[in-house]
Amino acid sequence: MRFIHLFLVGYFILALGIGLALWRTGVLSHVAPIWIGVGALVAIGVGIMLSVSSGKPTVSKEVQL
């Protein structure tokens, strides 16, 4: 598994842990379901952007004419 995949898996495990902690403490019962969905989409987007930006860039050869 590449580093980018490990980073993304770790990020989702962290987000899941935070979500479970908020649910267990009862915080999520005071928040409207639409905002929970919006927050989840934002967390997924941020995780994807962070994992892509942390990946190694590929270097291609430049062709001289």
Is pLDDT larger for residue 21 or for residue 10? 21
40's CB contacts (< 8 A; 6+ apart) are 15, 19
Q: Taking the model in full, what pTM does it have?
A: 0.68
Is residue 54 within 8 Å of residue 7, measured between CB atoms? yes
Predicted pLDDT of residue 34: 94
Examine residue 16 and state whether it is found in any structural domain, yes or no: yes
The total number of structural domains in the chain stands at 1
Please state, in angstroms and rounded to a whole number, the distance separating the CA atoms of residues 27 and 8: 26
List the structure tokens of 26: 């009862």
Predicted pLDDT of residue 21: 94
Examine residue 27 and state whether it is found in any structural domain, yes or no: yes
pLDDT per position as a tens digit, 20-61: 999 999 998 999 999 989 998 999 898 888 887 776 666 677
Beta strands in the chain (DSSP E): none
> What domain range includes position 35?
3-54
Is residue 55 within 8 Å of residue 4, measured between CB atoms? yes
